[in-house]
Chains A and B, each alone.
Chain A
Amino acid sequence: MRQKLIVIGAGMASGRVIEHLVEQDPDAYDITLFNAEPRGNYNRIMLSPVLSGEKTYSDIVTHDDTWYAEHAVTCRFGEHIADIDRVAKTVTSENGDVLGYDKLLFGTGSNPFMIPLPGHDLDGVIAYRDLEDTERMMAMGPEKKVVVIGGGLLGLEAAAGMAARGADVTVVHIMGHLMERQLDEAAGYLLRKALTEKGITVKCSANSKEILGENGHVTGLSLDDGTVLPCDLLVMAVGIRPNVALAQASGIAVGRGIHVDDQMITSDADVLAVGECVEHNGAVFGLVAPLYDQAKVAAQTLQGQTASFVQKELSTKLKVTGCDLFSAGDFADGEGREDIVFRDPARGVYRRLVIENNVVIGAVMYGDTADSNWFFGLIRDKTDIADMRDTLIFGPAFQGGTPLDPLAAVAALPRDAEICGCNGICKGQIEDAISAGATDLGAIRAVTKASGSCGTCTGLVEQVLAHSLGDEFVIPAAQPMCGCTDLTHEDVRRMIKSQRLTTMAAVWQECAWKTTCGCHVCRPALNFYLLADWPLEYQDDPQSRFVNERKHANIQKDGTFSVVPRMWGGITTPDELRAIADAADKFGVPTVKVTGGQRIDLLGVRGEDLPDIWRDLNAAGMVSGHAYSKGLRTVKTCVGTDHCRFGTQDSTGLGIKLEKELWGSWTPHKLKLAVSGCPRNCAEATCKDIGVVCVDSGYQISIGGAAGMDVRETELLVQVATEEETINVVKAVTQAYRENAKYLDRIYKWMNKVGLDWIKSRVVDDLNERAALVARFELSQSIYRKDPWAEHVARQSDTYRPLANLSLEAAE
């Protein structure tokens, strides 16, 4: 005799259960299918192509009316279930019908999670879940503004679909990079770049604060940094929650989802559940592959057969045209895990494999996912990759061969193979230049321009030289920045400028970094290069700074810090001195010392006391002296015409002015200035990075001095007539140094490389260039000329204290 099966929810998982049943044993059950949506089963994951216009709804219907009729499935679409009586084994529909069952199957799916922001109930605020939502989005005309909250799989598909329809789309994502659950930072960067090229605005690390509305309809979204994004439609795609309400109301065990065992049976032996509504071994499900596995098991259970659901590795692909990405397995760092990273900046390709015990356990791929199935197979089958480890990252095509000799590879290139992409130079042109007498890299650059732009092909050009000239050419060992890259500092700076790289992830990708996130050598340098070149676009990264610049104090050998308040031009007051003395007493400062730069150094301050001592010094009107920074340190002065009988100008006043203009600026290395009031030079200006010596007729500005490991006298840059011109020349030379020098080169080292004449030609002779440098310096200072102490006291003093104190706990 046929049993009665009632199915609640016509989704992809329950639909697959019904398919298995009617195929395998059509006489086992009379099936009644309830669905709250007024339609049957369609392929929900294909809503994105419907939204973008690549498919229509009828293309994605899985079961139409004919199918249900053919298989004698009684459909009750658009009807909710009001009640379940598990003792009597009946369900009550919303119109009062009572139907008996032998077996009940939950396929209630999931609900979109709506963030309870103020204004979330306004008209025009929707989720992206079903056909109704999709139709709402499709009804938006072109030129309309749409904000999508959520930079995960669903949010990005919604954004791309609407952008394809001509809407002006902004994605707001709370995390630092897109799809952070599936992708690492590098792949997230490439994805963001591709979406930006499609005209989508992407805002990461953005916290939504309030949804704005007028007359009950959404008008915009405000972020907690004050930005307001106007919009006509707001889509929330921040995640899903299993829909357990009905199961819970019927007394079935639920956690995050409806609890099921390996046979897909709930806490009631006659009730099963499949799909996004279930929780199995602590996991809930959102991707389709495991749902189909569940459906197969549930169908067998319903037929009295033994089957078990086993969770498997999952992979993800994004269904956005033109964004090829793939992620599978576990790609978090972890004990005993190693990364293999491959980047091809020219093709926008990124691949990363995570290896543990000679087995691939995770993979992230962007740009070229052709081999993704092969890698997914390695993960799933736990293949031992020890033998192919060296070439693994290149994919299946490269397995079994011998490792390539780079010179042999270059030798094998045809004459028309392009070597320098920037200038379109082929191997043949370089060979011709070599035959014509260009026998080193500089000559090749001069003759052909090859490797003269972005510089990434430098190695290749050198290999062509080596191959053509044999032993006569020795490839020079260019000093790479660090072990993370083969590029030099100069190469990387050129790339940052020419390719407009404005984030660290962008540099790592476009310059083919070999590590996932750099090291202690390259990160501080990159952080400086990025903030110097893109002061408005780039966000300073404290985690890429040495502790001194992160905590705005100098770490000492015992882990305590030294604190130096700024004394403009070396001038102080009795009140300031009293405040310093009080602070030294209050915080038990063991050593108070006068520095060479005319400041007072409080040595031995405990890290956790830093915000408190700064608060006191701030209250007395003092700010950070930046005695720890690769940036402007001090402007040392003599007393000049104020008191000195030899003084020719107001050296103290000029020193204070210079310090007030330059303070807070970051430079490749420390930057020390001095202003002396006469050639007797009591401020020792001629051994500073930039020195000004006052004379009767004006101001002599000289640069490139040092009094450290190297002792150097400055060289004269120019003599000018006014204080104003002095200040402008100093700013211009500082900016030229910021824009061009290698990180950790003092001015004298930079000057040795580029030559004093090159600097003169820009900041002395070319007045337009000088003005442009000053303008760029001022732009940067509009961000960085501020007191870090005040900000840290106000906003992050907690971070200076221990995260927790367990000393009592542990002693119990």
Chain B
Amino acid sequence: MSNWIDIAALQDIPQRGARMVKTAHGCVAVFRTGEDEIYALDNACPHKAGPLAEGIVHGKAVTCPLHNWVISLETGLAQGADEGQVATHPARVEGGRILLDITCLRAKAVA
């Protein structure tokens, strides 16, 4: 069962930007693309746990600010020659508001 909760307004994240959300199982980075799509990923690069929310967002990817790993916002997979994956979380936009699925975050906290 999903349980969508309202996090913030879409405008609270700049286009091609990200903000961080604190959760019980760690920080989640919420990204807004140039096309106003929203993605949520764990805020830790699979390489050296760099804060992805501080990276440059381009297309549907973010570049980690520490060592330039490029992570797909859709799959969480490292792109190119790098190997690794970061957890993704359900997120969507409705009526200009950003919604996250809290059930999913809770399940991870319990697991």
Contact A806 B13 (CB under 8 A): no
* Given A803-B8, A803-B30, A807-B22, A334 contacting B37 (CB threshold 8 A): yes
Contact A803 B20 (CB under 8 A): yes
Among A334, A559, A805, the residue within 8 A (CB) of B21 is: A805
Q: How far is the CB of A789 from chain B (nearest CB, A)?
A: 18
Contact B22 A547 (CB under 8 A): no
Among B7, B8, B37, B63, the residue within 8 A (CB) of A332 is: B37
A-side contacts of B24, CB under 8 Å? 806-808, 810-811
A657 within 8 A of B: no
Q: How far is the CB of A724 from chain B (nearest CB, A)?
A: 41
B-side contacts of A806, CB under 8 Å? 5, 7, 21-24, 100, 102, 105
A-side contacts of B17, CB under 8 Å? 542-543
* Given A547-B55, A810-B25, A520 contacting B68 (CB threshold 8 A): yes
Tell me which of A335, A518, A551, A555 has the highest count of chain B C-beta atoms within 10 A of its own C-beta. Answer: A335
Separation of A533 and B55 alpha carbons in the complex (Å): 26
Contact B56 A799 (CB under 8 A): no
A-side contacts of B102, CB under 8 Å? 806, 809-810
Contact B34 A809 (CB under 8 A): no
The 0/1 profile, CB within 8 Å of A marked 1, for residues 53-93 of chain B is: 01111111101011010100010000000000000000000
A329 within 8 A of B: no
**Looking at chain A, what size class is its interface with the partner chain?**
35 or more
Q: How far is the CB of A328 from chain B (nearest CB, A)?
A: 16
Contact B34 A557 (CB under 8 A): no
A377 within 8 A of B: no
Tell me which of B7, B24, B36 has the highest count of chain A C-beta atoms within 10 A of its own C-beta. Answer: B24
A-side contacts of B22, CB under 8 Å? 802, 804-807
Q: How far is the CB of A577 from chain B (nearest CB, A)?
A: 30
A176 within 8 A of B: yes
A697 within 8 A of B: no
Contact A546 B56 (CB under 8 A): yes
B-side contacts of A543, CB under 8 Å? 14-17, 56-57
A-side contacts of B60, CB under 8 Å? 333-334, 337
Separation of A167 and B50 alpha carbons in the complex (Å): 55
Among A517, A546, A810, the residue within 8 A (CB) of B23 is: A810
Contact A810 B19 (CB under 8 A): no
A-side contacts of B58, CB under 8 Å? 515, 517-520, 523
A-side contacts of B30, CB under 8 Å? 803
A653 within 8 A of B: no
Contact A332 B14 (CB under 8 A): no
Which chain B residue lies CB-closest to A516?
Answer: B59
Separation of A551 and B18 alpha carbons in the complex (Å): 13
B-side contacts of A546, CB under 8 Å? 56, 65
Q: How far is the CB of A377 from chain B (nearest CB, A)?
A: 24
Tell me which of A333, A519, A523, A551 has the highest count of chain B C-beta atoms within 10 A of its own C-beta. Answer: A333
B-side contacts of A557, CB under 8 Å? 48, 66
Contact A555 B34 (CB under 8 A): no
A336 within 8 A of B: yes
* Count of interface residues, chain B, beta-carbon cutoff 8 Å: 46
B-side contacts of A559, CB under 8 Å? 49-51, 54
Separation of A312 and B12 alpha carbons in the complex (Å): 33
Contact B35 A519 (CB under 8 A): no
Contact B34 A519 (CB under 8 A): no
Separation of A808 and B109 alpha carbons in the complex (Å): 11
The 0/1 profile, CB within 8 Å of B marked 1, for residues 32-75 of chain A is: 00000000000000000000000000000000000000000000
Separation of A336 and B60 alpha carbons in the complex (Å): 10
Q: How far is the CB of B9 from chain A (nearest CB, A)?
A: 10
B-side contacts of A808, CB under 8 Å? 24
Separation of A555 and B63 alpha carbons in the complex (Å): 14
Please provide the chain A residues from 490 to 534 with a CB less than 8 Å away from any CB of chain B in the complex: 515-520, 523-524
Among B23, B51, B63, B65, the residue within 8 A (CB) of A519 is: B63
Tell me which of B24, B35, B61 has the highest count of chain A C-beta atoms within 10 A of its own C-beta. Answer: B35
Contact A516 B34 (CB under 8 A): yes
B-side contacts of A809, CB under 8 Å? 5, 23, 102
Among B34, B70, B100, the residue within 8 A (CB) of A520 is: B70
Contact A517 B7 (CB under 8 A): no
Contact B35 A807 (CB under 8 A): no
Which chain A residue lies CB-closest to B62?
Answer: A520
Which chain A residue lies CB-closest to B49?
Answer: A559
Please provide the chain A residues from 784 to 812 with a CB less than 8 Å away from any CB of chain B in the complex: 799, 802-811
B-side contacts of A517, CB under 8 Å? 16, 34, 58-59
* Given A516-B59, A555-B65, A333 contacting B70 (CB threshold 8 A): no
Contact B21 A523 (CB under 8 A): no
A-side contacts of B56, CB under 8 Å? 519-520, 523-524, 543-546
Q: How far is the CB of A125 from chain B (nearest CB, A)?
A: 26
Contact A547 B65 (CB under 8 A): yes
Separation of A806 and B109 alpha carbons in the complex (Å): 11
Which chain B residue lies CB-closest to A517?
Answer: B34
A462 within 8 A of B: no
B-side contacts of A185, CB under 8 Å? 34
A659 within 8 A of B: no
B-side contacts of A804, CB under 8 Å? 7-8, 21-22
Tell me which of B7, B56, B60 has the highest count of chain A C-beta atoms within 10 A of its own C-beta. Answer: B56
A184 within 8 A of B: yes
Separation of A121 and B8 alpha carbons in the complex (Å): 33
Among A176, A333, A337, A810, the residue within 8 A (CB) of B105 is: A810
B-side contacts of A339, CB under 8 Å? 59
Q: How far is the CB of B21 from chain A (nearest CB, A)?
A: 5
Contact A333 B63 (CB under 8 A): no
Contact A547 B54 (CB under 8 A): yes
B-side contacts of A802, CB under 8 Å? 19-22, 27
* Given A336-B74, A803-B7, A804-B7, A551 contacting B21 (CB threshold 8 A): no
Which chain B residue lies CB-closest to A558?
Answer: B49
Q: How far is the CB of B85 from chain A (nearest CB, A)?
A: 15
Which chain A residue lies CB-closest to B109?
Answer: A810
Tell me which of A547, A551, A555 has the highest count of chain B C-beta atoms within 10 A of its own C-beta. Answer: A547
A-side contacts of B16, CB under 8 Å? 517, 543-544
Contact A803 B12 (CB under 8 A): yes
Which chain A residue lies CB-closest to B9?
Answer: A803
The 0/1 profile, CB within 8 Å of B marked 1, for residues 570-610 of chain A is: 00000000000000000000000000000000000001000
Tell me which of A335, A543, A550, A804 has the highest count of chain B C-beta atoms within 10 A of its own C-beta. Answer: A804
B-side contacts of A516, CB under 8 Å? 34-35, 59
Separation of A335 and B100 alpha carbons in the complex (Å): 16
Which chain B residue lies CB-closest to A180?
Answer: B36
Separation of A804 and B21 alpha carbons in the complex (Å): 5
Separation of A739 and B56 alpha carbons in the complex (Å): 25
Separation of A547 and B46 alpha carbons in the complex (Å): 19
Separation of A520 and B33 alpha carbons in the complex (Å): 14
Among A176, A545, A811, the residue within 8 A (CB) of B15 is: A176
Separation of A519 and B34 alpha carbons in the complex (Å): 12
Separation of A519 and B61 alpha carbons in the complex (Å): 9
Which chain B residue lies CB-closest to A798?
Answer: B12
Separation of A524 and B100 alpha carbons in the complex (Å): 30
A-side contacts of B55, CB under 8 Å? 520, 547
Known: A336-B74, A339-B59, A555-B66. 16 other contacts (CB 8 A): A334-B37, A337-B60, A515-B59, A518-B58, A519-B56, A519-B58, A519-B59, A543-B14, A543-B56, A802-B20, A802-B22, A803-B7, A803-B20, A805-B22, A809-B102, A810-B24
A-B contact pairs, 11 of them (CB 8 A): A333-B33, A516-B34, A519-B56, A519-B70, A520-B70, A543-B57, A803-B7, A803-B30, A806-B22, A807-B23, A809-B102
- The 4 A-B residue pairs with the shortest CB-CB distance, nearest first, are A520-B63, A803-B19, A810-B24, A547-B54
